Each structure stands twice: as C-alpha cells, then as structure tokens.
Structure 1
Amino acid sequence: MVKARHSRLDCTPGCAVEAAVSLIDGKWKAVILYHLLDGPIRFNALRRMVGGITQRMLTNQLRELEADGLIHREVFAQVPPRVDYSLSDRGLSLSPIIMALKDWGEANMDLFGRRLAA
C-alpha cells in the first residue's frame, strides 16, 4: 500500500524541504535511486545491488517511487516476464542530491564507524 504524501506546501518555509525529503525517506529509497542512476535495471539485479533488502520491501519501495513519479516501470511481454526500472525525468533531477549524499557519506565514514561501535 502506498502511503499518503505531503499534500500542502502553503504552510511553513520548511514545508518544501519536508515534502522533498518525504519522497526519499526511509532506509532504501535513496539507495535504489542511486543504483538506477546507471540506467535501467531488472528487479532481481536491483535486489542484488541493494543487498539486505527483502523482496517485499523492494517491491513496496519501488511502488512508492513509481507512484511519486520518480521511477518508470516497463513491463516486457515475454516469457518469463521481464520488468525494467529506470529513473523518470523527475527522478533524474534528484541525481545531484543523491550524488551529494554519496559524497558526504564517503567524506564522513568515521561517523558511521563510531555509530556502529557504540
């Protein structure tokens, strides 16, 4: 089930930030978007790339990303069925943000070590 999204942007100045973050919230969406930056990927290949995600969780996250217009799902009529996922134009517009998160994470890996050790 796709969760409700932030529908009002006429409140506080931070609402636009809240709305944007709500589209990529959670543990997996930014990681999925990062892997889709390289081009279309099939479901099982994406699952292997993400690692640690269940099939159900990946399915739910992909459905939410598709409902939000960030990814495109293309079904090919063949046996066995083939489904490719790719970034939509709106999803591609997030690439600088996703890459900035990646760069920040690489530059601050020491924080993650401390967090894991605690």
Structure 2
Amino acid sequence: MLQHKESKYLCEKVEIAHQIIGKKWVNLIIHSLMEEPKRFSEIHSFIPDLSKRMLIERTKELEENGIIIRNVITERPVRTEYSLTRKGIELGRALNAVENWAEKWL
C-alpha cells in the first residue's frame, strides 16, 4: 500500500512539472537566463516571436513557481532583471538534455 501512495505522489509531481514546462515559451525563457541575469527587453530580444504580453505572463508564472527571481535594481535609471533560482538552474540543466536530444534527433 505504501508503494502505491508513493507512486501516486510521484505521478502528481511529474504532472505538475509537465504543466509548468509544457507551456509555450517557458523552455526558451529558462534557456535565455542560463548564462546570466537578463532584463525584460533582453529576454524579449532573445525570443523575437514572443509577445511582450505573453512574456509578462510567463515570467510571473515562473516567479510564482520559484523558478526565476525578479530583481529591481534601484540605480538610475531603475531597471528590472530576471535570474534563475537554484530550482530554475536545475530545471535548466534538465531541459538542456532535451535540447541535446532535439538537436540530435529532430
């Protein structure tokens, strides 16, 4: 019985993970932040087909899920940068394996 509960719990977590990373643009946003923090406009330039409205929506979702951090830098002019959390870096590494697979097989 314990094994069944553990299996069900794992399935729920995997389903939640797929709900997060399965949304359009999420993988590319994470990929864009793997090297260094970026401003909103830099992320948008990295993914030109992504609308600003959708980028706002996705960054909010990723922030709510603890994958990215929004940092307001109060120097003049004030700017906002996005960076990956530890959780986001680990996810980015996992997604990198998918990128490698795609490059090889697609």
**What TM-score, normalized by structure 2, do the two folds share?**
0.85
Unaligned stretches of 5+ in structure 2? 1-5
Which whole-Å deviations, capped at 9, do the CAs of 1:55-97 have from their partners, x for residues lacking one?
Answer: 0100110000000000011001134321110000111111321
Q: Give the corresponding residue for 2:25.
A: 28
Higher helix residue share: 2
Q: Between the two proteins, what is the percent identity of the paired residues? A: 31
Please identify runs of 4+ aligned residues in structure 1 that moved more than 3 A: 9-13
Equivalent in 43, 46, 51 of residue 48 of structure 2? 51
Q: For this pair of structures, how many residues does the alignment match? A: 101
**C-alpha distance in 2 between matches for 1:53 and 1:90:** 24
**C-alpha distance in 2 between matches for 1:78 and 1:13:** 44
One-letter amino acid of the structure 2 residue matched with residue 24 of structure 1? I
Alignment of 1:33-112 (within 5 A): 33-109=30-106
User: How big is the shift at 1:15?
Assistant: 1.8
Instruction: Please give the root-mean-square deviation of Cα atoms over the aligned residues, in Å.
Output: 1.8
